[in-house]
Amino acid sequence: MRRRILRGVWVALGLVAIVGTLGAIKAKQIGTLIGFGEQMKKSGPPPEVVSTARAESQVWEGTLSAVASVVSAKGVALSNDAPGIVSRLHFESGASVKRGQVLVELDTKVERAQLASLRARRELAETSLGRSQALVAQGVVAQSELDNSQASFKSLTADVAALDAQIARKIIRAPFDGKLGLREVNLGQYLGPGTRVTVLESAESVYVDFSLPQRNLSALTLGMPVRAFEEEGGKAIGEGAISAIDPALDATTRNVKLRASFDNPGERWRPGMFVRVEVVLPEKKPVTVVPLTAVVHASYGDSLFVTEEAAGPDGKPRKIARQKFIKLGSARGDFVTVVEGVTAGEEVVSAGAFKLRNGLPIRVDDKVKLEAELAPRPENR
């Protein structure tokens, strides 16, 4: 019995020792964590890794941007003037043609038979006129006979010319050099007056139509240079000039319509295409530019972060992010102008700005440079 009691006492003492040892270890761990927390509180949050760039002062030419549509400099829907049945087709869809080239012939058998009859009668009238002139010169017949012969000859000549014109109306020719559209008629088809046969578009040059706000009207003049850009990638595809300015403004939008003329080498542009255009203004102005990636957009305004030197909790200097609200101007390529809020030479955060807040410590890592350009041309992937 006594042994059993002693054994229980020793077991209890052992458990107490184990619990005490574990408690000491845990207390030490908790103390270490508390020390780390106090140390982290003193040193502040760890710095965020960002990339930076300098706000630059550049000289940009003034431009006015707009979206535009390509229209043909010469374009017409070809149709027949007189009714008839298609007897011959001399073109295929999409063919290139020259001015005066015959495209469609309508049946003219009846008209040509009538023309042959009129020409035979005109030859007879011409012969009679010559005979009457000789007889009048000899005094054999009266002058009235000669007058009748002359009137008959002139009448038949006019009838022949009228029938020739009627036959010509049944032949459709290309009015200028260009490229045809889809053929919309077939051989043997009856065409009523005004039936569309195809369309013809000039391939030498094109017009680009666009609109600009009323406030820009005073800066626009005929002959001002205009650049056109592709919808994708922003690559310049041509340079032209303003050829017409609409004298009246749109009463709904208060925009003025403009037309620019462009050459079309290689028939690159087609009527109906969408392009972006820039009217180049004569004056140039200095601007402060930053990368587009540096701008943080929010409902309360646009801002960016600049780097500043500040003393840390340990008294040593370190870089922090300072948020500045800005007013943006025009954008070009990967850059945007800053009208207010930043001066040239300031170091701005160009990558990683989305994870920053005002006064947060940062660490600059510019090993990976931001590849930005004024006229980006990314590869098609």
State the CATH number of the domain containing residue 190: 2.40.50.100
Classify residue 156: in a domain, yes or no.
yes
In this structure, are 101 and 174 located in the same domain? Answer: yes
- For residues 321 and 234, membership in a common domain is answered with no
What pLDDT does residue 377 have? 45
- Domain of residue 96: give its range: 81-106+170-203
Segment 346-365 shows an average pLDDT of 84
100 and 179 fall within a common domain:
yes
Rounded to an integer, the average pLDDT of 345-371 is 78
What is the average per-residue pLDDT within 182-190? Answer: 90
Collapsing DSSP to helix, strand or coil, 134 comes out as helix
Which residue would you say has higher pLDDT here, 195 or 2?
195
Mean pLDDT of all residues in 292-299? 88
**Residue 28 forms part of a structural domain:** no
More confident: 139 or 329: 329
Q: Which of 342, 280, 371 is nearest to 60 (CA)?
A: 280
Mark 37-50 as b/e (b = at least 16 C-beta within 10 Å).
Answer: eeeeeeeeeebbeb
Question: Tell me, what's the pLDDT at 375?
Answer: 53
- Using alpha carbons, select from 365, 361, 370 the residue that is nearest to residue 290: 370
Predicted local distance difference test score (pLDDT) of residue 45 = 66
In single-letter form, the type of residue at position 257 comes to: K
Residue 336 has pLDDT above 50, yes or no: yes
Q: What is the CATH number of the domain that holds 120?
A: 1.10.287
In a domain, 380, yes or no: no
* 242: CATH: 2.40.30.170
198 and 93 Cβ atoms separated by less than 8 Å: yes
Same domain for 339 and 352, yes or no, is yes
- Count of domains observed in the chain: 4
In a domain, 347, yes or no: yes
Q: Report pTM.
A: 0.59
Residue 113 pLDDT > 60 = yes
The 3-state secondary structure of 13-43 reads HHHHHHHHHHHHHHHHHHHHHHHHHHHHHHH
Q: What pLDDT, on the 0 to 100 scale, is given for residue 44?
A: 59
Read off the pLDDT of residues 126-162 as tens digits, 9 standing for 90 and up. 888 787 777 777 777 777 777 787 888 888 889 888 8
Q: What is the CATH number of the domain that holds 294?
A: 2.40.420.20
- In the block, which residue shows the tokens 């017949």? 141
CB atoms within 10 A of CB 126: 15
The stretch 84-97 carries a mean pLDDT of 89
